[in-house]
Amino acid sequence: MIEPTYALGAIAVMALITFALRALPFVASRWLQSHAIVRRLGRFLPLAIMTLLLLHTLVGSAREHASGPWPELLSAGLAAGLQWRSRNPLLSILAGTGLYVLLRNLGAS
């Protein structure tokens, strides 16, 4: 059986490492804000991550259903078009989601 002092020591070390890893970005934030590469990544990565998530979702969802990728493509196209035209994220999300649900429900029956 494990000694209680050894177990408590291991838990304390794990807690310290976890705390240090959580605190590191706050400690390094001044250096990170002034670094050119980090600023460039901050402008590029959010769009790249959202694009990858969108593609992954569209491809995965299209493979699950027999109707093919059309509901996903039409809904994403509507949301993108509305966002480009109106610059209203809530309208784009609601219209794209509504069209997707409508197309999926019509295709299922």
Helices (H), the chain: 4-27, 29-34, 36-64, 70-86, 89-108
| 82 and 57 assigned to the same domain | yes
What percent of the chain shows pLDDT beyond 70?
98
- Domain contains 40: no
Could you tell me the pLDDT band of residue 109, with boundaries at 50, 70 and 90? low
Look over the chain and give the mean of its residue pLDDT values, rounded to a whole number.
89
Position 81 scores a pLDDT of 95
Position 38 scores a pLDDT of 85
| pLDDT single digits (tens) 54-84 | 888 888 877 777 777 888 889 999 999 999 9
| 101 and 58 assigned to the same domain | yes
| 14 and 54 assigned to the same domain | no
Q: What is the number of domains present in the chain?
A: 2
Position 84 scores a pLDDT of 95
CA gyration radius, the chain: 23
